[in-house]
Amino acid sequence: MTKQTQKLILDIISYAILLLGAVLMVGPFLWMVSTSFKLPGDQFTKTLIPPTFTLDNFRELFSVDINFLLLFWNSGYISILITVGQLITCAMAAFCFAVVRFKGRNLLFTALLLTMLIPPQVTLIPNFIIFKYLHLIGTSVPLWLPAFWGGAFGTFLLRQYFLTIPRDLVDAARVDGASLLQIFWKIYMPLAKPALAALAIFTFQGAWNDLLHPLVYMPSVPNTMLTVGLAFFQTQMTHGGKFTVLMAGALISVLPLVIVFFFAQKQFIEGISLSGVKR
């Protein structure tokens, strides 16, 4: 067997495995889309194409007691605030670790990375006690305010990208009399759009899909996020046997993530591929 034949066989096996993985991941999504447009009597049919196409599931979704529009709005503005907070604070911290030279910089950065080993569930109780003392439980503040405290993952991602930007740009800007703030805002931030887009997608996805924190800080329906509302709605629809309405709600809940990734996928891929070039 020649090397070309072996390479061809390995390529076929690799593509077959990738195709199987794609089917396993896309299959549940296609079933969700198909079920959301089916009649309740057709919800257990095995065909992906609905026997009878209907939009009644979406009409019923917006007529239930949980106020789906309010849940969608809450998830939207909270996720945007969390994303903005992470982009601003992580970019500033990453700029300091990548560009500004100060004593103990590497040690401090290592300590920051070590915080990634701490599960978020560990800090949940101390944060809850703090926000309870501040009388903020039941509001959205505990959900988005910690995002403005920075984050280890976002700082690491942006720092690695900032290191790929030539240092000569900083030296030239310094000669022209630019301050660190001007260098950060007018040079590094525009050049780091791919990495910022990648971090924005990661952060928005995590905030949009978060169930634990909204359940702890904003448990009351409908004044909560979409994930908690859908979990409550799932109990109602499961007992009622209307999985079609539940799938309609799930479909609407994933649309913002699909739209965000669709418009930013080029920057996302570029940002991920270039974030680990330098150390």
Task: Report the candidate in 209, 78, 67, 54 with the shortest Cα–Cα distance to residue 142.
Answer: 78
User: Do 209 and 170 reside in the same domain of the chain?
Assistant: yes
What pLDDT score does 279 carry?
46
Per the structure, the complete domain to which residue 173 belongs is given by 58-274
The DSSP line for 69-82 is HHHHHHHHHHHHHH
User: Do 11 and 127 reside in the same domain of the chain?
Assistant: no
| Helices 193-209 and 243-274: angle between axes, nearest 10 degrees | 150
Per residue in 17-72, pLDDT tens?
Answer: 989 888 888 888 888 888 888 888 777 777 888 888 888 888 888 776 678 888 88
Rounded Cα distance, 244 and 40, in Å:
6
| Helices 68-98 and 226-240: angle between axes, nearest 10 degrees | 140
Q: How many other C-beta atoms are found inside a 10 Å radius of the C-beta of residue 270?
A: 16
Q: DSSP class of residue 111?
A: H
Domain contains 87: yes
User: Do 70 and 37 reside in the same domain of the chain?
Assistant: no
Helices (H), the chain: 3-36, 56-61, 68-98, 105-114, 124-133, 141-144, 152-162, 168-175, 180-183, 189-191, 193-209, 212-217, 226-240, 243-274
3-state secondary structure of 204: helix
Q: DSSP class of residue 148?
A: G
Q: How many other C-beta atoms are found inside a 10 Å radius of the C-beta of residue 218?
A: 21
The tokens describing 218, both together, are 């904003």
Amino acid at 187: I
Q: What are the residues whose beta carbons fall under 8 Å from the beta carbon of 142, sequence distance 6 or more?
A: 127, 128, 131, 136, 213, 217
User: Do 85 and 217 reside in the same domain of the chain?
Assistant: yes
The mean pLDDT of the chain is: 85
Task: List Cα–Cα distances, 276 to 79, 272, 273, in angstroms.
Answer: 27, 8, 7
Domain contains 80: yes
User: Do 138 and 256 reside in the same domain of the chain?
Assistant: yes
User: Do 42 and 65 reside in the same domain of the chain?
Assistant: no
User: Do 41 and 74 reside in the same domain of the chain?
Assistant: no
User: Do 214 and 80 reside in the same domain of the chain?
Assistant: yes
Confidence label for 256 from pLDDT (cuts 50, 70 and 90): confident
What pLDDT score does 207 carry?
93
Ramachandran angles phi, psi of 108, nearest 5° = -65, -40
What pLDDT score does 169 carry?
84
Q: What is the CATH number of the domain that holds 138?
A: 1.10.3720.10
| % of the chain surpassing 70 pLDDT | 92
User: Do 48 and 116 reside in the same domain of the chain?
Assistant: no
Per residue in 197-234, pLDDT tens?
Answer: 889 988 998 999 998 999 999 888 778 888 888 888 77
What pLDDT score does 193 carry?
86
User: Do 119 and 43 reside in the same domain of the chain?
Assistant: no
User: Do 25 and 72 reside in the same domain of the chain?
Assistant: no
Number of domains in the chain: 2
Amino acid at 273: S
User: Do 44 and 69 reside in the same domain of the chain?
Assistant: no
